[in-house]
Amino acid sequence: NAGVTQTPKFRVLKTGQSMTLLCAQDMNHEYMYWYRQDPGMGLRLIHYSVGEGTTAKGEVPDGYNVSRLKKQNFLLGLESAAPSQTSVYFCASIPGGRGSTGANVLTFGAGSRLTVL
Amino acid sequence: SQQGEEDPQALSIQEGENATMNCSYKTSINNLQWYRQNSGRGLVHLILIRSNEREKHSGRLRVTLDTSKKSSSLLITASRAADTASYFCATVPYSSASKIIFGSGTRLSIRP
């Protein structure tokens, strides 16, 4: 049972390039989240999803797009990377959904460190 | 702005002492959760307290919740070097139980 897996773990981009971060969970969780964490700061919610085919904006959604085509995957895209998007990105998931018997606490991936030059 | 704000931002104590961290939030909540993050790693869930609970214990952890003051505290008793980490509170708003927002965190250092 791998839990939440993020790929890639590290990436360096030039300003204006695009990329996609992949988050995969094998726990059949309904809800998935993307957060960013900047040095010395807490996590800020970028986008989240409460089920396959649905996404919603978080606190800092600008410059990012997401897709949840499959329940187990949540993709975070940067169409035109900017230096301000240099950060560590964390994906997380919770059981969520109706009839969920599990405690709705987040299971996190190990993080993806992105540098935009 | 973030829903939860932690206080203090940084705390350094001697091993064996107790550590107390506080979290304040702005809107009504369904529950409040505390997480721990070791340097360079993902966050790990520690404890959850529901809005109708006032205190909860788990091992050396004690969490309190005061919904009238919109605040929570995390107490770690008999601290150990291995407790060195950053601690974050996360709030689950009553109005949107899926939108989990984190505070800015407290960096805890335990001196041997």
Q: What is the pLDDT along chain A (117 residues), one digit of tens a residue?
A: 679 999 999 999 999 999 999 999 999 999 999 999 998 778 999 999 999 999 999 999 999 999 999 999 999 999 999 999 999 999 999 987 654 444 678 999 999 999 999
Q: Is B43 on the interface with A (CB under 8 A)?
A: yes
d(CA A20, CA B109) in angstroms, rounded, equals: 35
A34 interfacial to chain B (CB closer than 8 Å): no
For the segment A77-88, what is each residue's pLDDT rounded down to a tens digit? 999 999 999 999
> Looking at the complex, does the CB of residue B47 fall below 8 Å from at least one CB of chain A?
no
pLDDT of residue A1: 63
Q: Do A108 and B43 touch (CB under 8 A)?
A: yes
pLDDT for the residue A103: 62
B60 torsion bin: left (phi>0), alpha (psi -120 to 50), beta (else): alpha
Angstroms from A16 CA to nearest CA on chain B:
27
pLDDT at B95: 75
Residue A41 at interface with chain B, using a CB cutoff of 8 Å = yes
Query: Which of B98, B104, B106, B107 has the highest number of chain A CBs within 10 A, making it the mutation to test binding with A?
Result: B98
Long-range contacts of A14-17 (CB under 8 A, 24+ apart): A14/A81, A14/A116, A14/A117, A15/A81, A15/A82, A15/A83, A15/A116, A15/A117, A16/A80, A16/A81, A17/A80, A17/A81
Q: Which helix (H) or strand (E) holds A57?
A: strand A54-57
Q: Mind listing the pLDDT tens digit for each residue in B88-102?
A: 999 988 777 788 889
At residue B35, the pLDDT reads 96
- Residue A92 in contact with partner chain B when CB distance is under 8 A: yes
Residue B44 has pLDDT above 80, yes or no: yes
pLDDT tens-place string over residues B71-82: 999 999 999 999
Model pLDDT, residue B6: 85
Could you tell me which of B92, B63, B33 has the C-alpha nearest to residue A45? B92
Mean per-residue pLDDT of chain B: 92
Retrieve residue A79's tokens. Answer: 């169409």
